[in-house]
Amino acid sequence: MANYIPSPRDWVREQVELYESSGGTKGTALRDTGLPVIIVTHIGNKTGAIRKTPLMRVKDGNNYVLIGSVGGAPNDPVLGAQSARQSRCGNSR
């Protein structure tokens, strides 16, 4: 079984820690935006380790859409292409 490696990005690591240590009652919004998130558990592309990433969730009828970005950078987030390739992808909620 792969080991969990926290994100090297402070805000990601801190939000995941807050969410998990509170049993999912805190850290449920994307930074200071108030937008709702879920914590997605996935396998790291380079490390093969377990990773956890907060992604914005938007309700679309009876479905949820997960939204990830690189904060306006010109490239797409790695998690999007990675999730499409992986058959084992879950979330914390």
Q: What is the pLDDT of residue 93?
A: 46
How many Å apart are CA 22 and CA 26, to the nearest integer? 6
User: What confidence tens digit (pLDDT) does each residue in 11-25 have?
Assistant: 999 999 999 999 999
List, as own/partner pairs, every contact residues 14-22 make where C-beta atoms lie below 8 angstroms and the sequence separation is at least 24, other chains included.
Answer: 15/39, 15/54, 16/52, 16/53, 16/54, 19/54, 19/92, 20/92
Predicted confidence (pLDDT) per residue in 40-65, tens digit = 898 888 888 999 989 888 889 998 88
| pLDDT on residue 32 | 83
Burial class, 52, CB count within 10 angstroms (exposed 0-12 / middle 13-18 / buried 19+): buried
